[in-house]
Amino acid sequence: MKKRVLFVDDEPGTLLSCEANFRKMFEVYTAISADEALHVIHELNSDKDPDKHICAIVSDHRMPVKNGVDLLSEIKKIFPTPERVILTAFGSSELLLQAVKKADINYYLEKPMDIDKIVEIVSDATATYSLRFRRQQLKQEIEERSGQLEQINKELGIINP
């Protein structure tokens, strides 16, 4: 099953390019605004099936109403597991610092888009998501089993009640 990736940009041409370049490798979703991106991620990442979740979000920084850093920061508060990538034509060390501090951005890319570099970054991001998600599942399984063992030990009188 292909990993799901959300591209957010206020330029329709950029979104069409992303769909064309990435649809063979990923299940691509696009949003032309921050509000649309929030709707997409709420719809998909609220599903109980993790295979339906967005694994990585690539957002342009400069957009009307809400910029990419603010969008990714908001998404992080609701759904912390997707990897976050900021894309900008106006890179600066100040923007990078703001992005990392505010939204815990995982990757930073500058326009014009280098397709090979974006493929590499998005592939890394989806792999990181998968590893992080699996780690979370294993941690939860360990906690559940630990609780079960504790209960069994109590029943057997091994641990003082």
Q: What is the pLDDT of residues 82-120, one digit of tens each?
A: 999 988 876 666 766 666 766 677 777 877 878 888 888
% pLDDT > 70, the chain: 89
Nearest to 59 by CA among 6, 132, 112, 136: 6
Residue that is written with structure tokens 């890394």 in the block: 124
Listed in sequence order, the residues at least 6 apart from 96 whose beta carbon sits closer than 8 Å to its beta carbon are: 105, 108
Predicted confidence (pLDDT) per residue in 27-40, tens digit? 999 999 999 999 99
The answer to whether residue 144 sits within a structural domain is: yes
| Domain residue limits at 112 | 4-156
Is the backbone peptide bond immediately before 112 cis, with ω within 30 degrees of 0?
yes
The answer to whether residue 161 sits within a structural domain is: no
What is residue 26's predicted lDDT score, i.e. its pLDDT?
A: 93
Residue that is written with structure tokens 């292909």 in the block: 2
The answer to whether residue 39 sits within a structural domain is: yes
Domains held by the chain: number? 1
The answer to whether residue 13 sits within a structural domain is: yes
The answer to whether residue 66 sits within a structural domain is: yes
Contact (CB, 8 A) for 50 and 4? no
Q: What is the CATH number of the domain that holds 32?
A: 3.40.50.2300
CA distance 41 to 38: 5
pTM: 0.80
Give the dihedral sign, CA 27/29/30/33: negative
The answer to whether residue 114 sits within a structural domain is: yes
Predicted confidence (pLDDT) per residue in 44-83, tens digit? 888 877 778 899 999 998 888 888 889 999 999 998 889 9
The answer to whether residue 49 sits within a structural domain is: yes
What phi and psi values does residue 6 have, to the nearest 5 degrees?
-110, 125
Nearest to 14 by CA among 75, 73, 88: 88
